[in-house]
Amino acid sequence: MGRVCLGMILSVDGYISDRDGKLGKLYESFEPNEVIQAEMAKTGAVVMGRNTFDMSEDPDAYADDYEFQVPLFILTHHPPANHPKENENLTITFVTDGIESAVHQAKQAAKEKDVVVLGADVGQQLLKANLADDLQVAFAPIILGQGVRLFDHLEELEIRLEKLRTIETAKQVEIWYRVMKEKKTTAEQVPLNSRVPVFNYCFPINLEKNNRKTKHIIPKRITPHCKE
């Protein structure tokens, strides 16, 4: 069996698209070298959320020129009435019964190859379900300030990572991590109201401080036929 990898390009402050819902600023520094292309060639299936899938203006364009010509599994509550075009390598399956099912089906389709997972919402579900084997983050040299944050809504988790390797290109640094499978909620470790003891006093941490305002936006990278 291959590995399940959550992999995306991030700004240094953790956004996977900018405040206007665009990916251009992240991808202008993406220059895949032979090592990155070899990693991409290990992909046997892709799982993505419907928002990521819908960034192509024409869903039939996936069969024509998507960079991953492999089975695609799209998580959605509302499969389209007209099934998009497929070809002998790229099939499209709309999955309505959850992330576990999508990953299971993708692993079966990928056989010995890897499964790549795309989308922030879907990526967060993958981490919460403890289904990610690897995490691949490519850092673009930019601080975006706003946008869709990849590691949002994960306050209940602590996930240890083990660095596997880094890939450097002229402008980006890509880090591959193994996701350690032990999972502990912070609540299991320490009672919430006693996280920061100072002398005899306990100060509760305000978990709501994190910025939850994210915009759903349409990224550009996946195909040239994007709405950007």
Ligand X SMILES: NC(=O)c1ccc[n+]([C@@H]2O[C@H](COP(=O)([O-])OP(=O)(O)OC[C@H]3O[C@@H](n4cnc5c(N)ncnc54)[C@H](OP(=O)(O)O)[C@@H]3O)[C@@H](O)[C@H]2O)c1
- Name the residues that contact ligand X, by CB under 6 A: 8-9, 16-17, 23, 26, 48-52, 75-78, 96, 98-99, 118-122, 125, 148, 216-217, 219, 221
Q: How far is the CB of 199 from ligand X (least distance, A)?
A: 42
Q: What is the dihedral of CA 108, 114, 117, 123, to 10 degrees?
A: 90
Give the shortest CB-60-to-ligand X separation in angstroms. 19
- Residue closer to ligand X by CB (options 24, 178) is 24
Q: Nearest distance from residue 217's CB to ligand X, in Å?
A: 4
Choice between 29 and 76, CB closer to ligand X: 76
The candidate with the shortest Cα–Cα distance to 42, out of 113, 116, 133, is 113
Residue nearest to ligand X (CB): 49
φ, ψ of residue 204 in degrees (nearest 5): -65, 145
Name which of 2 and 119 has its Cβ closer to ligand X.
119
When the beta carbons of 15 and 63 are compared against ligand X, the nearer one is: 15
> Taking the complex as a whole, how short is the minimal distance between the CB of residue 89 and ligand X, in angstroms?
20
